[in-house]
A and B are shown apart, each in its own frame.
Chain A
Amino acid sequence: MALDSKVPSGPIAQKWDKHKFDMKLVNPANKRKYSVIVVGSGLAGASAAASMAELGYNVKCFCFQDSPRRAHSIAAQGGINAAKNYPNDGDSIYRLFYDTVKGGDFRSREANVYRLAQVSNNIIDQCAAQGVPFAREYGGLLDNRSFGGALVSRTFYARGQTGQQLLLGAYQSLSRQIGLGKVKMIPQTEMLDLVVVDGQARGIVTRHLTTGKIESHAADAVVLATGGYGNVFFLSTNAVGCNVTATFRAYKKGAYFANPCYTQIHPTCIPVTGDHQSKLTLMSESLRNDGRVWVPLKKGDNRAPGDIPEAERDYYLERKYPTYGNLAARDISSRAAKQVCDEGRGVGPGGRGVYLDFADAMKRLGENVIRERYTNLFQMYERITGENPYKVPMRIYPAVHYTMGGLWVDYNLMSNIPGLHVVGEANFSDHGANRLGASALMQGLADGYFVLPYTIGNYFASTLRKPITTDHPEFKKAEAGVRQRIQELLSIKGKRTVTSFHRELGLLLWEYCGMARNEAGLKKALAKIPEIREEFWKNVTVLGEDKDFNRSLERAGRVADFLEFGELMVQDALHRNESCGGHFREEHQTEDGEAKRDDDHFAYVAAWQYAGDGQPAVLNKEPLVFEEVHLATRSYK
């Protein structure tokens, strides 16, 4: 099927304005006649739910956490980009747009990215008005810092807790609407199916996580804001509850899953220490403003870092990328770390680590300045590792952090199923094959505050829907399916725990579909995943009952979805016979080990269509047309 991106015509700078004018409006007095379901309450979900409720729509918002304030956006540390050009260093909407397209290795949709850059400034204004305590200069104006993949300082921040403060801003706006009765908030509830009636998304089936109650909810439109699928790797920087279930169930109901192989491996995380680990912890990219990344020059150099003289250190990012240095883009920095570790020059137990050293910055600026900038990050590091980063360099290693792939959406953020909208990390739209630092917060809030509230009105005003209730047979069918699956999981009564399957899948994907991929490895994974899945459905053990608080059951359902989704991800990685951004195919690299794209054959979005269990997914392509940015080899040298 041909995918229509619905990108408006005209010059790129005028597309969004033109589109806003062309879109149909809903009479303010009629907005209360429309209902919207929002699944997820992170930056995208909470901002969308609050903004739509302010406009007058009736919103039902769901989250699996016990409170909407706990969505994983809260853990974002470093900051949020905007093209304000407050530091007078030459930033502009066009430059933010350009950097993002380039950072994404020319695999994103230009018009969406331009709009993102355009509304970035409104986000900062909106958040400041909500009382988000952004960092300030002594004169009282907003402070900025630098992030990877950019040569300007455009990142706004609130200490090392920017995601927390932005999310609390959105949560507070959402809370206000809950108090006013315009949003019905339903926490501790997981979406287990999407309901499509007459080709339109009309509702969801949920399970309440403390009572086990299965329920149907009907609406005029459904918005998924359910985040990314990084936990398919078992170990990632995501919260332990993050999962792919909502978007994957939508995929199985016909929504296309775009670019699942684009996963971001973040260069600065605390290295893995043992099998017991349940998650990995990120150390904000902002640390690369002052920290210098290095490894010993010689293989197997076991001296303490302080005993290695300057001449015997390899500051490999500064050496390889003199222009961007320690602020090279994420995918590039991650691969460079893997490379030096593969060469046997990694540090720490197991040799999978590199130093992030603040000694020079402390000498130059004083320990106090470093303390002021990064206190909470340094404390977090010390708590986890037991080492004091003021005295010895941090040890870091890349870890799965973000997923650029997601459900396919058009310019209106609507999937190929009419009425099903997808916002934030859950969609595929803005980051191409690699996301730049401080752009996830920007995209989540752009979608929720400034894009979806407009485009959803256009959907309501330009389509007809039959009035339905949850008594419709499609709801009954979906509910029955959900119940049956739960019973199946409970009745297996096998020998292995849910976690053991999740870990097995994660290790396999990290090995063959992680930082570097090749055809042989991907084929191996493609053969192995169905075996793990088969064993799961024969031998998993899920204790307890369904009508009860039962975390094992919750996790079992999510891992079952990961076991199917993982296969789709590998299939996508195998088909994309080029390297781009976070998708590094070893067969396609330049002489010095950089990603080599194949624009002639792969300048498209791969949107996968479910074709039935046991059937390979069907590939649909949206060609990517670059009218503004000249396709070029990405260089941070």
Chain B
Amino acid sequence: MKVDLTVNGKDITADVEDRMLLVHFLRDVADLTATNVGCDTTSCGACTVLLDGESVKSCTVLAAQASGHEITTVEGLASNGTMHPVQRAFHEQHGLQCGFCTPGMVMAIVSLLRENPHPTEEQVRTGLEGNLCRCTGYHNIVRAALAAAEVSS
């Protein structure tokens, strides 16, 4: 079937299988491979992207469902070579080790801060319950989210 998505501001029209998942559309059709497939069961959040500005798990959305909508992946955050405040905060607060969960974490935090620009530490921890990290123990990720909120205020 024909789908028509706006990905990181660019219109992409493609003929895909009805059953194609959004994450595979992003990686295999749009050639944007930063979004990872982790658990593939809506649990780990590695595949988190923004759909019309809100975080979703792209392993559990059909490309067909996203047709006509705007998708933002982590590749779409930086502008003119300048990192997004959340990306910069991950760098400065050492918010990653292996990096596999990072694209999803960053997108989940971008969505969280849009809904709640000044979260408490507890709200950040609760807001990230859909994203798993097996390296950091989360502390520096939470610090990065709080630092990004501070910078943006």
Please say whether chains A and B are actual partners in one complex. no
Interface set of A (CB-CB < 8 Å, partner B): none
Interface residues of B (CB under 8 A from A): none
